Amino acid sequence: MNLERIKPHFPWLTLLALALLVGIANPSFLVPSSLLSLVADIVPLFIMALGMTFAIYIGGIDLSVQQLANMVTVIATVYLAQFGASVAVICILAGLLFGAVSGYVTNRLYVPSFVSTLAMGFIALSVAKYLSGQRALYMDATLRDANFGWMFGNTAGVPHELVIAVFLLALAWFLQKKTTFGRALKAIGSGEPAAVASGLNVVRVKVLAFAVSGAFAAIAGLMFSVKLSGGDANLANGFLLLAIVAVLVGGTPLTGGVGGVINTAVGTLIVMVIRAAMVYVEISATQQQMIFGVVLIIAIALTIDRSKMQIVK
Amino acid sequence: MTDSTMMLPSVSRLLSRERLVRWAPILVLGLLVLFFPFFEWLMDFLEGKGHAYLFDSRFFSIRNAARIGIAASPGLMVAVGVTFIILMGSIDLSMEGTVSVCAVLFAFVFLAWGATLASWAWLAVPLALVVGAAMGFVNGLVHIWLKIPSFMASLAMGFVGTGLALILTGGDRIRIEDELFRSLLTERIFNFPVMVYVAFFFLLVAWFIQSRTTLGRNFYAVGGGEELAHASGLNVERVRLMGFTLAGVFFAVGALLAVGRIGIAETATGNNFLFISITTVVVGGTALWGGIGGVWNTLVGVLIVNVINNGMIVIGLPAFFQDGVLGILVILAVALSVNRRSTSFVK
């Protein structure tokens, strides 16, 4: 077995090694029930990262996901009473719309996605502030439980968030692997001029990729909103960089065309293990941020597959 | 998209077109500067008040220009630093951490060595610059030695920096009350505070490095085509390392100005520099894929964003609209200055 063949397996090997290390340091980390609840806690971040994977897979980036999630928490809270469970449809459509506009601005107006998605995020923030009147809003508890109570809770020891996460992962995997859309994404990520030359409608595919990213961000926002029982223009703050980190650590480089949604699942778990580990090995709160950065550098150095990158920029 | 059939008959038109695209950021800035006073004039006109356009404007006044200058100076330094990196086609996302660490360390040393610029405490200023350089250097080493793309390496180094600042302060704020140091803000020469001149001085330094030194040329060479630069004997890795170190120095200058502006150093001093500095660089017309643009573009970009932010407040736009309007105007500014003929696709 040579190095080239095990390279693609580095991300999950890193995950396994990290989990074992923490388990040795503190065996209570590996108790299944606590592991399950740790994983369940990170599901909204995972969904956000899942969407972001599509943007990064084509060599772009989506910096609007955090603000989209913020906006959706407000939309969900404001319109829950009026529309009931179908407010979810409105939320996802809003995410799709913002994502599609980001994609349009990037590909038709030639604004780099780094700036276009950031700007769309500002617009989403404005919408959130306007709808919420710049206050923190609270959901009616009975309405919330009646419409979205199924999102949280346990069945036979399995948290419902986990079921949702697995379902969305399967959906994203299907999109990426089994549809022409997914194939087109890979073609664009690997080499855009070649994709254009072979007659692919590159712009349509890229707009769709950003729309998918927006829709997933909206689902994440909806989960935040139900979980915290409210909406606020700042509710999801702090998740953007973590979502990017989850995608990158999983082994989907910013150059595109390599990696994918399964990698993101592994990457999110790595982020979770690192963060949980600091609690389990009792690192003080002020030191956690720095240690997180250092471990992150090690994790990235271990997981990224450099054979597909000619130049490291 | 290149349209080869159109190329030959319209060479002269293409030239003027390219010139137009090059000057687009300045045009946008000019339009904005004229637009906000126009809005003020329109409001007064509708209310029937007498208002001489530009002369009676609250936006178009020296006082307000100074206000824009104060708000823009720290951000300009950070943006100039990252401009060098973007010129090389890389990216640096570590500025929030570097700014925080430099600000906090500066404050600690400054207070410990005498708490006024008139004593040995002035040494804290060069020390902050050295710390910035060291952090940039480490950032570059992580990127080059471990062969991690700069986006990820610098993002993680940013976490390390913010974390380090947090450990140093334990979450406390450090006040700098030395009047001599605060004269960065309080002392005015020709109506503008000293910090604006300091920022301008370092902008000139950056311009000198960019256009009059080998290092500056090498940034463009690496950004224009790394393989070619490498093939022609350039030590690309050394250029990159120097670039990240230089960026660290400018982040440190930004940190000093940020502390000078509010008189407080804390872990949060670096907050919000990350996305806004890269946005301003792009708005100024520097290409994210490298080789095009420079520090003057960055000045224009920083001014555009700060004029928009200031103008929205002066004309009394409701607070919840301001983020959205900034977003729309940033998209418009970048969209106007992109040369669609030389861009086949955008990432």
Query: What is the predicted pLDDT for the residue at B2?
Result: 42
Rounded-to-integer distance, Cα B294 and Cα B88, Å? 11
Contact criterion met (CB below 8 Å) for A68 and A221 = yes
Q: Which residue has the higher pLDDT, B284 or B18?
A: B284
Rounded-to-integer distance, Cα B333 and Cα B302, Å? 12
Query: What is the predicted pLDDT for the residue at A139?
Result: 86
Query: Residues A252-269: pLDDT tens digits?
Result: 887 777 888 999 999 999
Fold of B68-337: ABC transporter involved in vitamin B12 uptake, BtuC (1.10.3470)
Tell me the mean pLDDT in the region B68-84.
96
The answer to whether residue B4 scores a pLDDT higher than 60 is no
What ipTM, to 2 d.p.?
A: 0.87
Query: What is the predicted pLDDT for the residue at B5?
Result: 44
Average pLDDT, rounded, for chain A: 89
Instruction: Tell me which residue in A120, A253, A306 faces B327 most closely, judged by beta carbons.
Output: A120
Structural domain spans, chain A: 3-308
Residues of A in contact with B28 (CB under 8 A): none
Residues of B in contact with A120 (CB under 8 A): 327
Quote the crossing angle between the two packed helices B236-262 and B194-212, to the nearest 10°: 170
Query: Residues A273-302: pLDDT tens digits?
Result: 988 888 888 888 888 889 999 988 988 888
Query: What is the predicted pLDDT for the residue at A312?
Result: 65
Q: Which stretches does DSSP call E strand in A146-282?
A: 154-155, 158-159, 230-231
Query: What is the predicted pLDDT for the residue at B345?
Result: 56
The answer to whether residue B255 scores a pLDDT higher than 90 is yes
The answer to whether residue B109 scores a pLDDT higher than 50 is yes
Do the Cβ atoms of A110 and B288 come within 8 Å? Answer: no
Query: Residues A221-250: pLDDT tens digits?
Result: 999 999 888 899 988 888 999 999 999 888
The answer to whether residue B13 scores a pLDDT higher than 70 is no
Two structure tokens written together for A139:
């959901």
Query: What is the predicted pLDDT for the residue at A311?
Result: 62
Residues of B in contact with A125 (CB under 8 A): 323-324
B167: closest CA of chain A, how far (Å): 5
Residues of B in contact with A123 (CB under 8 A): 323-324, 327-328
Query: What is the predicted pLDDT for the residue at B210?
Result: 95
Query: What is the predicted pLDDT for the residue at B84?
Result: 96
Contact criterion met (CB below 8 Å) for B154 and A296 = no
Query: Residues B19-62: pLDDT tens digits?
Result: 777 888 899 999 999 999 999 899 888 888 878 888 888 899 99
Tell me the mean pLDDT in the region A178-202.
89
* End-to-end Cα, chain B, rounded Å: 15
Average pLDDT, rounded, for chain B: 89
Do the Cβ atoms of A125 and B346 come within 8 Å? Answer: no
Nearest to B99 by CA among B300, B250, B251: B251
Query: What is the predicted pLDDT for the residue at A155?
Result: 79
Between chain A and chain B, how many beta carbons pairs sit less than 8 Å apart? 165
Query: Residues B309-347: pLDDT tens digits?
Result: 999 999 989 989 999 999 999 999 888 877 655 555 555
User: Where do runs of H (alpha helix) occur along chain B?
Assistant: 4-7, 11-46, 62-87, 95-112, 124-145, 150-169, 179-186, 194-212, 214-224, 226-231, 236-262, 273-283, 295-314, 319-337
Query: Residues A127-143: pLDDT tens digits?
Result: 999 999 988 899 888 88
Tell me the mean pLDDT in the region B189-201.
95
The answer to whether residue A189 scores a pLDDT higher than 90 is no
Rounded-to-integer distance, Cα A160 and Cα B45, Å? 61
The answer to whether residue A217 scores a pLDDT higher than 60 is yes
Nearest CA in chain B to A191: B345
Tell me the mean pLDDT in the region B178-191.
91
The answer to whether residue B6 scores a pLDDT higher than 50 is no
Rounded-to-integer distance, Cα A264 and Cα A48, Å? 10
Do the Cβ atoms of A286 and B166 come within 8 Å? Answer: yes
Query: What is the predicted pLDDT for the residue at B3?
Result: 45
